[in-house]
Structure 1
């Protein structure tokens, strides 16, 4: 039997029970201890709560099976310290996040960002697998991938099609982790080396397989090993995107002559240092224009990322991303 076929009948992590209760206050308190403080209410007064919460955890993440057994409304506000991937196993839930209303089902998962408000309504037959990943850890893994500082908070698209390649792969990975935990070889106490590798694999999968406001940066990141001088030059570039630095400034900072610096960048990236600087500035401006709230206008995005000529910025931006910066500002989908 496939994993997909099993989900209708199986209570995952049955051997790792955390909570069994019909008491609303206890459910709110105990579930909140593993996630965050939240408001929990029974939507239909005649229904009885029958909470089943199973839980395993590593150092930076946890996997949970959760079923309330009644129609409930959940208002956690902002999660603050973690991301939460919610994979429905049965039933449906209505999730409002980042201004969008999503019907979560066996074909649609949701990914909640820590700095955006969330409200949810779970049906009585709604059962979910929940992957919780620490925000700071995910950001650390992201920095390792892009070999640079992040331009700001990481924000994922909230709706995940579980039939897409990325959604299907994430679901398979989480279910495989559940099966490993049930077999007693994963998340059994003090984190082991294999636990830490699995946690990194999960974080990397979220970052590389699901759309976010840094997907374009990840796609263009160089994954090979760079010589120390070139790596230092890239770090200097990303630390000074808003400053009017020149080629001579980069060379002086890493103690290389200009010709050596240029040759090193052409070997590593196929581009000159100043082209890498320009593209990094364009990526940063693109990131800011994709932010769904507190969106800067095009002029602010350009000037705050080192561009002093709006016409040239618009031309270079369209060449890199295929459309104008004003189009991005009007059509934010993964910001």
Structure 2
């Protein structure tokens, strides 16, 4: 089982036998939606267990019987839905999927979501605010492939992290007390999700200003990125170093730079990785250097490296050792 449901019962948000009350309680955590009850199960109540850690929320939902749900367009957050028991027949952005033991879904902002949950379905959900995605990726518009194939090895680290977080009350309590810990968990979950799930992203197209003028904000941000690129920095860290709000930082980069701040972080990490590969000792491995430079997914690192430098990291390392022999 992905997550032991009993571990989340201590975070019980509500129980109810009233459909309107159920809808209102869930709407307060997610968003307004319609509920269309089917056959109820005798002796069962609807419930929700919910944990909130800064911009991240997760928990479980069970209905008192079969339930149709129409959420309309998802607002300013990303919502992943998995099944701990039973199944759901859902539609995400016009695509049908069966949420069950081997498949989940993830819905993003402005995507329509609805479906029918079986009477014995207990769903596990993860809600990540759009601003958290922006803070950890630097992209205004991030589209994640809606269908989650839970059998893919690439998603195993993300699922394991969810299991670890949901099963540790001590870790949850620490993250709720200390925002620094909460941000690190957000970053880890976002990074692992995007490392394992296909996605594409874009920023707003804004005409660049003449290259001769670079505002102080961008210079300060670039200096911070150059110094800290291989650390687990976020967009908020860069904005703080530049002395401006995140939105102002993004606008400045769109007008005065060829790349977004987080794209620049990626470029700086690649440059640092190449420098370390060119100076690598006999005992050093590509994986060690990639992880040390902030790349959690070695496959994506190798692809990005080859695209930038025209050869694989292992080819660079092999050539260095051949010259040294």
Aligned to 2:123: 128
Q: Which of 235, 238, 241 is the matching residue for 2:259?
A: 238
Alpha carbons of 1:55 and 1:140: their partners in 2 closer, same or farther (altered >3 Å)? Answer: same
Aligned mates of 1:172, 1:191 — CA distance in 2: 22
Aligned to 1:163: 151
Q: Which of 135, 138, 151 is the matching residue for 2:133?
A: 138
Q: Which of 24, 38, 41 is the matching residue for 1:29?
A: 24
Q: Is 1:22–1:48's contact at 8 Å kept on the other side of the alignment?
A: no
- Deviations, residues 135-170 of structure 1 (Å, cap 9, x unaligned): 111022111xxxxxx3x5211111111110233222
Q: Which consecutive unaligned segments of at least 5 residues does structure 2 have? A: 203-223, 229-237, 239-251, 261-267, 275-306, 308-325
Aligned mates of 2:117, 2:156 — CA distance in 1: 22
Q: What value does the CA root-mean-square deviation take over the aligned residues?
A: 3.2
Alpha carbons of 1:165 and 1:130: their partners in 2 closer, same or farther (altered >3 Å)? Answer: same
Cα distance, 1:57 vs structure 2: 0.7
Q: Is 1:85–1:132's contact at 8 Å kept on the other side of the alignment?
A: yes
Cα distance, 1:49 vs structure 2: 6.1
Q: Which of 184, 193, 209 is the matching residue for 2:180?
A: 193
The count of corresponding residues between Structure 1 and Structure 2 is: 222
Aligned to 2:216: none
- Deviations, residues 6-29 of structure 1 (Å, cap 9, x unaligned): 74xx43411111011111010000
Aligned mates of 1:201, 1:268 — CA distance in 2: 21
Alpha carbons of 1:186 and 1:227: their partners in 2 closer, same or farther (altered >3 Å)? Answer: closer
TM-score by length of 1: 0.59
Q: Which consecutive unaligned segments of at least 5 residues does structure 1 have? A: 144-149, 216-223, 240-263, 271-319, 321-335
Q: Which of 190, 201, 223 is the matching residue for 1:203?
A: 190
Cα distance, 1:48 vs structure 2: 7.4
Aligned mates of 2:68, 2:8 — CA distance in 1: 24
Alpha carbons of 1:14 and 1:212: their partners in 2 closer, same or farther (altered >3 Å)? Answer: same
Q: Is 1:226–1:268's contact at 8 Å kept on the other side of the alignment?
A: no
Structure 2 counterpart SS, 1:197: helix
Alpha carbons of 1:191 and 1:87: their partners in 2 closer, same or farther (altered >3 Å)? Answer: farther
Q: Is 2:73–2:112's contact at 8 Å kept on the other side of the alignment?
A: yes
Q: Which of 68, 71, 75 is the matching residue for 2:66?
A: 71
Aligned mates of 2:66, 2:43 — CA distance in 1: 9
Cα distance, 1:171 vs structure 2: 1.8
Aligned mates of 1:267, 1:200 — CA distance in 2: 22
Q: Is 2:83–2:124's contact at 8 Å kept on the other side of the alignment?
A: yes
Aligned mates of 1:46, 1:200 — CA distance in 2: 40
